[in-house]
């Protein structure tokens, strides 16, 4: 009976499948095709053919800003994903353990998720901005004021002063990305926490476990499937990070070496270098694939489903 009605299932799937075929599967395979056509350009002359080869990859690697983009992307991923997951775990456990104001605090922690990324980025830029000259500051920004420092975090140049260093810019970017990534992770982990049977905590109390021990030996393993989910989606998301950088530093990212891989791809498209853009996309895809496979391999040993 099930086999008889299979065509019905396909009909129900058809709208999604057609859209995905047009906007996901075709572009995906087309991109792979383009990557291996040297100097590909869609505005080709009649009868013009492109040679099959790996020139696009060579061009991409040799492009002056490529290494900086790749470096930034990897740093952002390695720094922000573990930190934001840890913070999200701590915050969700804290949120779960308080009774009064829980709903209000949940809403507050969720607000960044529904706020515009660019708007938040601009606020961060303002908070870290320094205006004036080193001898006479008009303002050193909110952050410098709070911590009593006079660091030039992100500005390109101050009159008579030096540019902000790559390190401080990276620091601001990471803080911003971590803060921006928290709400979603908190929501997922809090939901998972609230579905853990309270009896296990009672059992842990009877078994003389301390609070810390209960957290590491009971809570974390119980949450491990959700932690794995948050980590893997986090890795994928941060490899694709671009808007954060634009939001804090504006459009001209290459000049201050704050561009990312996705930024690199966009730049190449703007330059009509489709072959190079496709090569960049495929490199990014390969990195994400390897990372995800690795995470799943680790997960298969540590995650208790």
Partner 1 sequence: MKIVLDGLTKEFENKKKNSKVIAVNNVSIDIPSGTLVGLLGPSGCGKSTTLFMLSGLLAPTRGSIVFGDKDVTHLEPQKRGIGLVFQNYALYPHMTVLQNILFPLENIGMPKDERIERAHEVAKVVQIENLLDRKPSELSGGQQQRVAIARALAKAPDVLLLDEPLSNLDARLRLQTREEIKRIQRETQVTTVFVTHDQEEAMSICDVIVVMKLGVVQQVGVPQEIYDDPHNLFVAQFLGTPPINTFAGVIKKGGVYIGKEKIMDTKLPDQEIYVAIRPEGFIPAKDGVLTLNFDHLEVMGRERSILSTHESSLKPLIRSIVEEFEETGAKSYKFNLKPHKVFLFNKETEIRISDDKVYDAPVVMKGLEQVQLEEKKENAFQKAWNKCKGVFKKKEKAEEVKENSEESKEK
- Give 129 or 224: the residue with its C-beta nearer to partner 1: 224
If DSSP states are collapsed to H, E and C, what string results for 198-227?
Answer: HHHHHHHHHCCCCHHHHHHHHHHHHHHHHH
Is the four-CA dihedral 122, 128, 132, 138 of positive or negative sign?
positive
266's CB contacts (< 8 A; 6+ apart) are 242, 277
- Residue 190 Cα distances to 37, 182, 185, 237, angstroms: 48, 12, 8, 20
Report the b/e string of 241-265 with b at 16+ CB within 10 A: bbbbbbbbbeeebeebebbbbbbbb
Q: Does residue 206 interact with partner 1 by CB under 8 A?
A: yes
| H helix or E strand, kind and range, residue 138 | strand 136-139
- Of 66-74, 109-117, 199-207, 238-246, which segment contacts partner 1 by CB under 8 A? 199-207
Pick from 16, 208, 212, 270: which binds partner 1 (CB under 8 A)?
208
- Of 92-100, 116-124, 201-209, 260-268, which segment contacts partner 1 by CB under 8 A? 201-209
Q: Does residue 299 interact with partner 1 by CB under 8 A?
A: no
- Of 126-134, 138-146, 168-176, 209-217, which segment contacts partner 1 by CB under 8 A? 209-217
Q: Which residue has the tokens 């057609």?
A: 18
Give the integer Cα–Cα distance in Å for 161 and 133: 7
Q: 3-state class of 99 per DSSP?
A: coil
Please work out the total of residues on this chain that contact partner 1, with binding judged by CB under 8 A.
18
Pick from 14, 21, 203, 272: which binds partner 1 (CB under 8 A)?
203
131: DSSP letter: E
CB of 225 to partner 1, least distance (A): 10
- Of 15-23, 88-96, 164-172, 198-206, which segment contacts partner 1 by CB under 8 A? 198-206
Give the integer Cα–Cα distance in Å for 39 and 273: 8
CB of 17 to partner 1, least distance (A): 37
- Of 8-16, 143-151, 210-218, 270-278, which segment contacts partner 1 by CB under 8 A? 210-218
Q: Does residue 83 interact with partner 1 by CB under 8 A?
A: no
- Fill in the per-residue mask, 214 to 243: x = in contact with partner 1 (CB under 8 A), - = not in contact: ---xx--xx-x-------------------
* Interface positions with partner 1 (CB under 8 A): 197, 199-200, 202-203, 205-210, 213, 217-218, 221-222, 224, 304
């Amino acid at each position: 009976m099930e086999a008889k009605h299979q065509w019905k299932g396909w009909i129900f799937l058809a709208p999604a499948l057609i859209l995905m075929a047009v906007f996901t599967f075709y572009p995906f395979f087309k991109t792979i095709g383009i990557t291996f056509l040297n100097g590909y350009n869609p505005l080709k002359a009649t009868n013009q053919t492109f040679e099959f080869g790996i020139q696009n990859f060579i061009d991409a690697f040799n492009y002056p800003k490529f290494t900086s983009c790749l470096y930034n992307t990897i740093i952002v991923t390695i720094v922000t994903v573990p930190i934001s997951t840890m913070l999200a775990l701590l915050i969700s456990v804290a949120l779960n353990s308080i009774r009064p104001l829980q709903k209000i605090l949940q809403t507050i922690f969720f607000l960044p998720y529904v706020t515009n990324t660019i708007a938040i980025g601009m606020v961060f830029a303002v908070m870290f901005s320094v205006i004036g000259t080193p001898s006479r500051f008009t303002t050193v920004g909110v952050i410098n004021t709070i911590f009593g420092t006079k660091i030039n975090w992100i500005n390109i140049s101050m009159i008579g002063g030096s540019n902000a260093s790559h390190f401080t810019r990276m620091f601001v970017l990471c803080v911003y990305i971590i803060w921006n990534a928290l709400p979603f992770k908190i929501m997922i982990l809090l939901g998972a926490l609230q579905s853990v049977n309270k009896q296990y905590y009672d059992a842990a109390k009877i078994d003389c476990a301390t609070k810390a021990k209960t957290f590491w030996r009971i809570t974390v393993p119980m949450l491990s499937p959700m932690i794995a989910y948050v980590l893997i989606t986090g890795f994928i998301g941060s490899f694709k990070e671009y808007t954060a950088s634009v939001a804090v530093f504006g459009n001209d990212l290459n000049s201050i070496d704050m561009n990312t891989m996705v930024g690199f791809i966009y730049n190449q498209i703007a330059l009509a270098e489709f072959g190079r853009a496709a090569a960049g996309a495929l490199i990014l895809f390969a990195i994400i694939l390897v990372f995800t496979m690795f995470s799943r391999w680790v997960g298969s040993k540590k995650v208790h489903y």
